[in-house]
């Protein structure tokens, strides 16, 4: 890493020169004290990887929707005081979503939530046979993905033996003593089990380590062995650039409350590659019916061509409308510009953290028995294998130290998130974080560690 750590003055200057510096003003910045800090002022909110901030336009849009509900009730589905009939609520969102994904609009659907969408897709495209029934997923996957994947083989006891159900999951993991997945290792697992794998399910950006996977070779190999490739983009969408069509990904899911600021539990979506056959295995619902005939309410299921034909229920307006504001904003500033700024923010944070006296470089990371000194190392790889997030592993890796460091960070108004047992995740988000905040965050990490050191590790 050769990036020089910026000075306070440089950070200030970068904010002043930043062409995107106005977008922060579009958001409501949380209050430090209300987030649990012992200081006043704005929180340094580096947790957009978990829940994005409230866009001011989203608040306006939300009030408008309540207004429409109040004044026109059911009529709002068809005639809308603000020109957004609920029946077509997703229509203005899909072009931007498709662009973020590198996909066609017809391959994207705005619907339901991530885990439920994953179940929907697996129900259709995990169709095991006694010869080909295995699912490849990371052992360290976000638990919801793991539970979901693990639950599907059990639905196929008519074709799978109990032993096959039991052994259906191939859990991939980093090598012993390593933290990141190696493409070559995943490829080897695919090759070694090439006749038995039905489905590969991997994340675009790993939630714990912040590692961005190199998707194209994985998709290529998956298809070579005759399996399907599904992608979880929870930490990918709005964070990194994706090219699902070029990569040949078969299907994918996402949520929108992380980097797209749709609010807690906001509506997610899914992608289905054009031309991917479902072999007549589709879970149907009325929102999957062609919009032209949807309200004819006939017995005949006439699906919308493409991904939208797999939707089930009418769009949750209040869980969707905040998303529109952020998509409009991204459209206005251009995602490439945001991505550039994100790399600069994260790069600055990375460089500053590496200057800390508590920073442990890669070749000095202690082994379990020798892990006694307070410090941290950065798990997340360097560019191009990361997005916005940096994951800090807090040493010593004994239970109880990381939460103490985290608490001291919160005391000082830095909102990141803790992932047990040892990791603190920090994500400066290009839409609303500043370079100056990056400087403050790095200083707070340093102060928090110093305070824990002063108290003593054995406390
Ligand atoms: C955030 C996240 C989820 C959350 O799932 P929901 O169904 O939206 O609650 C699932 N998987 C991954 C990888 C995530 O990062």
Does the domain at 90-315 match CATH 3.40.50.720? Answer given as no
Where is the binding site for pyridoxal 5'-phosphate, in residues? Answer: 114-115, 142-145, 232, 235, 257, 286, 314
For ligand 1, pick from 47, 121, 144, 252 the residue to mutate: most ligand atoms within 8 Å of CB: 144
What pTM was computed for the model?
A: 0.96
Nearest CA to ligand 1 atom 13: 142
Q: Is 138 in the pocket of ligand 1 (CB under 6 A)?
A: no
Domain ranges of the chain: 8-55+332-455, 90-315
Q: Find out whether 416 and 47 touch, Cβ atoms under 8 Å.
A: yes
Average pLDDT of adjacent 10-residue blocks, the chain of 459 residues: 82 98 98 98 98 98 98 97 96 97 98 98 98 98 98 98 98 96 98 98 98 98 98 98 98 98 98 97 96 91 97 97 98 97 98 97 88 95 97 92 97 95 96 98 98 90
Query: pLDDT at position 398, please?
Result: 84
Asked whether 142 lines ligand 1 (CB < 6 A), one says yes
Cβ atoms of 339 and 430 closer than 8 Å: yes
State the binding site: 114-115, 142-145, 232, 235, 257, 286, 314
Give the Å distance between the CA of 123 and the centre of ligand 1. Answer: 18
pLDDT of residue 359: 98
| Cis check: omega of the bond before 370, within 30 degrees of 0 | no
> Distance, CA 447 to ligand 1 centroid (Å)?
32
Residue 9: what pLDDT?
97
Q: What's the rounded Cα separation, in Å, for the pair 384 and 458?
A: 39
Answer whether 427's CB lies under 8 Å from 340's CB.
Answer: no
Q: What are phi and psi of 232, to 5 degrees?
A: -95, 120
Cβ of 204 closer than 6 Å to ligand 1, yes or no, is no
Spatial separation of the C-alpha atoms in residues 209 and 381, rounded to whole Å = 8
Q: Round to whole Å and give the CA distance between 360 and 213.
A: 24
Instruction: Note the pLDDT of residue 1.
Output: 47
CATH, range 8-55+332-455 = 3.90.1150.10
Atom of ligand 1 nearest to the CA of 118: 7
156 by Cβ neighbours in 10 Å (0-12 / 13-18 / 19+) ranks as middle
């Amino acid at each position: 890493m050769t990036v020089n750590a910026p000075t306070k003055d440089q950070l200030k200057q970068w904010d002043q020169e930043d062409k995107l510096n106005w977008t922060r003003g579009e958001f409501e910045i949380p209050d430090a004290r209300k987030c649990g800090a012992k200081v006043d002022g704005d929180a340094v909110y580096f947790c957009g990887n978990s829940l994005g901030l409230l866009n001011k336009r989203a608040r306006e849009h939300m009030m408008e929707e309540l207004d429409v509900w109040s004044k026109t009730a059911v009529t709002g589905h068809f005639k809308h005081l603000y020109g957004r009939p609920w029946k077509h609520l997703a229509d203005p969102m899909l072009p931007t979503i498709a662009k973020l994904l590198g996909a066609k609009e017809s391959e994207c659907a705005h619907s339901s939530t991530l885990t439920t969408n994953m179940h929907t897709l697996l129900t259709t495209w995990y169709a095991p046979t006694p010869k080909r029934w295995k699912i490849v997923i990371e052992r360290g996957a976000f638990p919801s993905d793991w539970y979901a994947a693990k639950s599907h083989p059990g639905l196929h006891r008519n074709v799978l033996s109990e032993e096959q159900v039991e052994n259906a999951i191939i859990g991939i993991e980093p090598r012993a003593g390593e933290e990141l997945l190696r493409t070559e290792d995943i490829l080897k697992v695919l090759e070694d089990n090439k006749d038995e794998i039905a489905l590969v399910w991997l994340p675009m950006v790993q939630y714990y380590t912040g590692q961005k996977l190199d998707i194209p070779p994985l998709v290529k190999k998956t298809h070579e062995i005759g399996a399907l490739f599904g992608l979880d983009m929870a930490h990918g969408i709005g964070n990194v650039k994706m090219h699902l069509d070029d990569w040949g990904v078969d299907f994918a899911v996402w949520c929108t409350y992380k980097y797209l600021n749709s609010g807690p539990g906001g509506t997610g979506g899914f992608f289905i590659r054009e031309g991917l056959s479902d072999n007549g295995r589709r879970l149907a619902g009325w929102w999957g019916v062609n919009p032209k005939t949807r309200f004819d309410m006939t017995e005949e299921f006439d699906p919308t061509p493409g991904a939208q034909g797999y939707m089930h229920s009418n769009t949750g307006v209040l869980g969707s409308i905040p998303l529109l504001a952020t998509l409009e904003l991204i459209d206005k500033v251009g995602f490439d510009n945001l991505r550039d700024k994100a790399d600069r923010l994260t790069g600055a944070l990375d460089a500053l953290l590496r200057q800390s006296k508590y920073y442990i470089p890669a070749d000095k990371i202690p082994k379990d028995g020798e892990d006694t000194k307070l410090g941290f190392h950065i798990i997340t790889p360097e560019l191009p294998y990361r997005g916005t997030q940096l994951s800090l592993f807090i040493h010593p890796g004994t239970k109880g130290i990381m939460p103490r460091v985290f608490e001291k960070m919160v005391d000082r108004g830095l909102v990141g998130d803790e992932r047990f047992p040892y990791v603190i995740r920090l994500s400066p988000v290009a839409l609303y974080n500043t370079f100056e905040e990056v400087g403050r965050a790095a200083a707070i990490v340093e102060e928090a560690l110093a305070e824990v050191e002063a108290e003593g590790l054995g406390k």
